[in-house]
């Protein structure tokens, strides 16, 4: 059976998105996943600079773009996301828009 791209899958919920963001952010920042909570601030708590956040966005767009056609993160919105939980909520909302959900 040939591999398919953009296979119809269940939408990711907040916990799945948080898990994905936490895993990728831990890899980028080379820190323990346990240090990344929904309340953690990117710059103040995690020492994530703008380059690390851009790398995170690129990885998330690539991974979720395979899952949800039309998923993207607006560069202008990135400056407004200061806390991991805000990023989770933002990604969940963008997935709903890209996937045609509410």
Question: Is 49 tagged catalytic?
Answer: yes
Which is catalytic among the residues 49, 74, 75, 89? 49
Within 13 Å, how many C-alpha atoms sit on residue 82's CB side? 2
- φ/ψ region of 52 (left if φ > 0, alpha if ψ in -120 to 50, else beta) reads alpha
Distance separating alpha carbons of residues 32 and 68, to the nearest angstrom: 28
Q: Would you name the residues annotated as active-site residues?
A: 49
């Amino acid at each position: 059976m040939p591999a398919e791209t953009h296979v119809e899958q269940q939408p990711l919920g907040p916990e799945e998105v948080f898990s994905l963001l936490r895993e990728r952010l831990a890899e980028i920042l080379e820190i323990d996943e346990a240090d990344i909570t929904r309340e953690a601030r990117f710059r103040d708590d995690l020492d994530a600079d703008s380059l690390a956040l851009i790398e995170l966005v690129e990885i998330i767009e690539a991974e979720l773009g395979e899952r949800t056609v039309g998923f993207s993160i607006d560069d202008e919105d990135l400056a407004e996301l200061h806390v991991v939980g805000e990023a989770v909520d933002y990604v969940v909302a963008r997935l709903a828009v890209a996937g045609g959900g509410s």
